[in-house]
């Protein structure tokens, strides 16, 4: 059986796209390469994410995009420099358009009829505006036509050149008759269209830059240098790139921690708001993990570096947000298909408009004016920005709030969730169980505690750690023949005795008696374990995991949102019901083995859209099975890859934040699409019937794109 080829992902920046139709052109060019699986191109973030086999060279993808008339390069996670400011790039073009275009507009609109020399002056004033300031539209159109495609710039180039060419023809046609010339020249139309489009594109570029403010602010969190402690104690300030794992660095008060690591010396309160969205600083001391980009508030720390570069938590957050911003929501894929045929349809409509006016007895001037207005008003910029603009802003805002969204599909699904399944340990509870009851049934309590600690010493289970911790720091005998039975408990031999510690159900399966007072402990919300010594019941162990302070309010918020809440746990029914009663949960799925959680998720999926909230490691199969997986915790690699949403702080309210953000984003997308489609549905007929001048069409087209972005930017105020 042949091995499946390994797949890789390449992320590129793509410049030169002017509308949603360009997205289709770029995707089509990439798709022609053998070995490419999927290409997702974002007009809003000017980026492309390509999945392909390892046999495909990334440079081949870049060459394919460049050959299609666009400019592609590797996308690097660096903050944009001031040289990339759209104002600096457009300043000269806009300045020329203003200095020459406004006089053209003034002479044409307020001096009528005019002498012949004034009309020739309009030619002189308007030509640099069209040929110099508007050159980008013609250059892009030439590239598009040479590749047998059309886009927004094609419409602008056709409209402005048609107005200029007709006006120039009229100058010669009516030479000697300044009044007739004045009635047939439309230089101001071409000049003002270029000016308005340039200003609109400039405002759009500035607004789009604001959409990615969250990414830039995250990138700026990593310091450029670090204080490296060399062998012997000498300290040097070195570039961040020279820091490697196992290096020790010094971080002074007020400085940002350069990379992920572990505190080797000192203690300090650290501002982790960039990571969790939580404003209160947390105390970190020797042995505690710290995250690159967080701020040391007081006290000096020596940190042993664990991860650098792209492996750090900050880099993974940036990568995840970028991936979300370049991914496509299902609705966007449909919009891109529509946009792909929209521009050719507009050109046909403009031609029919011109012919219709002539057939109806209208003048060439009237027909040309209406056709130009159709070409200009129908540019699908707003259509292409409607969905990705909202996605870019919302995913960035989510990151600021400590909610990482994997992709657009996850964001869209979150708003449709009606049932939310909740793992108990580490999700509803603190995840740090403590021994609260040890009832000796047969034998000396001290001996039993010592044997229990010895047996559990080899287990990594939280309950085992609670038992070992409760036994104290005294000597513990050695355990042999240790065996962990998944979902049931452990067994070992200690000082010649067979020790079994596990659930009441497992004890019954083994034929042991379970004391009746186990129900009392379970009723108090404790996880009850039975300890057997040589097959006989020796003790009852009660372990309790404190409920998180925020869990009650989170559950109430879920109910306020109309969600059905279900707890999924391996605990006994009585213990689970006790916890559920305290929290006000709707339903309990208890005594569920780890491998059975995915089946529980599948069962609930039959009745609605289901989200699963867990720790992202033990619950990975269930998170993958759910319509939306939400991982609690600090964002481990496995959690980020498995879940659609990762909560960067252990607070269940983050799940509600993700769901509310999704609903707000979907509402914004719908509003944007309504505006974009409605705008064209209303404006194109007005333009075709001569009710909308080309200048007003240019202004309205520019305003439509900016309005869609500004509407999306409202998501930055989401709380």
pLDDT at 77: 40
pLDDT at 425: 78
pLDDT at 303: 92
- Answer yes or no: are the C-beta atoms of 130 and 101 closer than 8 Å: no
What would the DSSP string read from start to end of 351-407? HHHHHHHHHTT--HHHHHHHHHHHHHHT-THHHHHHHHHHHHHHHHHHHHTTEEE--
Residue 60 lies in a domain: yes
pLDDT at 1: 42
Three-state secondary-structure class, residue 248: strand
Do 411 and 470 lie in a common domain?
no
pLDDT at 615: 75
Residue 81 lies in a domain: no
In terms of residue numbers, what domain contains 184? 86-211
DSSP state of 6: P
Count the alpha carbons within 13 Å of 16 in the hemisphere toward its beta carbon.
21
- Answer yes or no: are the C-beta atoms of 113 and 178 closer than 8 Å: yes
Do 483 and 629 lie in a common domain?
no
Do 307 and 412 lie in a common domain?
no
Do 424 and 451 lie in a common domain?
no
Given 93, 153, 423, 615, the catalytic residue: 423
Write down which residue in 19, 50, 76 finishes a domain.
76
For the chain, 719 residues long, the average pLDDT of each consecutive 10-residue run is: 65 78 81 84 78 85 85 62 54 89 88 88 93 88 77 77 85 86 81 81 70 67 86 87 90 90 90 68 87 86 89 77 68 66 81 90 84 76 74 84 82 88 84 82 86 82 80 79 83 88 87 84 80 88 84 91 90 81 90 82 90 76 86 60 79 90 90 81 85 75 78 88
- Answer yes or no: are the C-beta atoms of 197 and 158 closer than 8 Å: no
The dihedral through the CA atoms of 25, 26, 27, 29 has a sign that is positive
In the chain, the number of structural domains is 6
Residue 192 lies in a domain: yes
Q: Examine the residue annotation and report whether 423 is marked as an active-site residue of this protein.
A: yes
Do 557 and 644 lie in a common domain?
yes
Do 375 and 464 lie in a common domain?
no
The dihedral through the CA atoms of 363, 365, 368, 372 has a sign that is negative
| Strands of the sheet with 36-42, listed across from one edge | 36-42, 47-53, 7-15, 71-74
Q: Residue 431 — φ and ψ, nearest 5°? A: 80, 15
Write down which residue in 28, 43, 76 finishes a domain.
76
What is the residue whose two structure tokens read 């993990």?
Answer: 289
Residue 585 lies in a domain: yes
Residue 148 lies in a domain: yes
pTM: 0.68
Do 271 and 173 lie in a common domain?
no
């Amino acid at each position: 059986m042949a091995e499946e080829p390994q797949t890789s992902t390449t992320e590129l920046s793509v410049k030169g796209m002017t509308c949603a139709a360009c997205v289709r052109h770029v995707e089509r060019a990439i798709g022609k390469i053998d070995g490419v699986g999927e290409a997702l191109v974002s007009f809003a973030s000017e980026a492309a994410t390509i999945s392909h086999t390892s046999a495909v060279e990334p440079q081949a993808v870049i060459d394919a995009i460049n050959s299609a008339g666009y400019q592609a390069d590797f996308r690097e996670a660096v903050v944009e420099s001031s040289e990339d400011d759209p104002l600096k790039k457009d300043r000269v073009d806009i300045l020329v358009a203003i200095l020459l275009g406004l006089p053209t507009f003034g002479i044409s609109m307020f001096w009528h009829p005019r002498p012949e020399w004034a009309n020739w002056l309009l030619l002189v004033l308007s030509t640099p505006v069209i040929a110099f300031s508007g050159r980008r539209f013609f250059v892009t159109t030439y590239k598009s036509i040479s590749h047998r495609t059309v886009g927004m710039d094609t419409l602008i180039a056709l409209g402005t050149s048609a107005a200029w060419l007709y006006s120039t023809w009229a100058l010669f046609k009516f030479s000697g008759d300044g009044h007739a010339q004045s009635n047939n020249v439309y230089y101001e139309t071409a000049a003002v269209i270029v000016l308005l489009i340039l200003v609109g594109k400039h405002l759009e570029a500035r607004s789009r830059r604001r959409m990615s403010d969250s990414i830039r602010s995250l990138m700026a969190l990593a310091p450029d240098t670090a204080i490296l402690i060399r062998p012997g104690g000498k300290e040097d300030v070195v570039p961040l790139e020279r820091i490697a794992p196992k290096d020790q660095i010094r971080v002074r008060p007020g400085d940002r921690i350069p990379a992920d690591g572990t505190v080797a010396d000192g203690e300090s309160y650290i501002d982790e708001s960039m990571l969790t969205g939580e404003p209160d600083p947390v105390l970190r001391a020797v042995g505690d993990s710290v995250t690159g980009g967080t701020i040391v508030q007081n006290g000096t720390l020596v940190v042993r570096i664990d991860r650098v570069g792209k492996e750090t938590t900050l880099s993974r957050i940036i990568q995840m947000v970028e991936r979300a911003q370049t991914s496509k929501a299902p609705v966007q894929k449909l919009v891109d298909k529509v946009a792909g045929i929209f521009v050719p349809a507009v050109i046909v409509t403009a031609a029919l408009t011109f012919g219709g006016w002539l057939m109806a007895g209208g003048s060439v001037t009237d027909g040309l004016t209406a056709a130009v207005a159709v070409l200009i008003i129908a540019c699908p910029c707003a259509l292409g920005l409607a969905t990705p603009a909202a996605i870019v802003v919302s995913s960035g805002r989510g990151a600021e709030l400590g909610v990482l969204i994997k992709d657009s599909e996850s964001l869209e699904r979150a708003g449709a969730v009606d049932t939310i399944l909740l793992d108990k340990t580490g999700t509803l509870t603190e995840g740090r169980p403590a021994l609260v009851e040890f009832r000796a049934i047969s034998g000396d309590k001290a001996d039993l505690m010592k044997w229990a600690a010895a047996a559990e010493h080899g287990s990594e289970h939280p309950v085992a750690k609670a038992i070992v911790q409760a036994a104290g720091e005294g000597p513990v005998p050695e355990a042999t023949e240790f065996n962990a039975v998944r979902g049931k408990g452990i067994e070992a031999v200690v000082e010649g005795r067979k020790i079994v510690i596990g659930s009441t159900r497992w004890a019954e399966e083994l034929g042991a008696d379970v004391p009746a007072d186990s129900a009392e402990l379970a009723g108090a919300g404790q996880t009850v374990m039975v300890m057997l010594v040589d097959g006989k019941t020796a003790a009852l162990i009660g372990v309790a995991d404190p409920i998180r302070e925020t869990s009650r309010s989170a559950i109430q918020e879920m109910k306020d949102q109309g969600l059905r809440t279900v707890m999924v746990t391996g605990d006994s029914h009585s213990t689970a019901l006790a916890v559920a009663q305290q929290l006000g949960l709707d339903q309990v799925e208890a005594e569920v083995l780890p491998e059975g959680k995915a089946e529980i998720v599948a069962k609930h999926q039959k009745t609605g859209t289901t989200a699963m909230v867990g720790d992202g490691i033990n619950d990975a199969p269930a998170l993958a099975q759910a319509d939306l997986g939400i991982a609690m915790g600090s964002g481990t690699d496995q959690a980020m890859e498995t879940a659609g949403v990762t909560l960067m702080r252990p607070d269940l309210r983050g799940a509600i934040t993700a769901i509310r953000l999704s609903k707000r984003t979907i509402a914004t997308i719908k509003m944007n699409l309504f505006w974009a489609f409605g705008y064209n549905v209303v404006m194109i007929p007005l333009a075709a019937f001569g009710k909308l001048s080309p200048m007003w069409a240019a202004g309205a087209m520019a305003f439509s794109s900016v309005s869609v972005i500004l509407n999306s930017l409202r998501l930055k105020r989401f709380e």
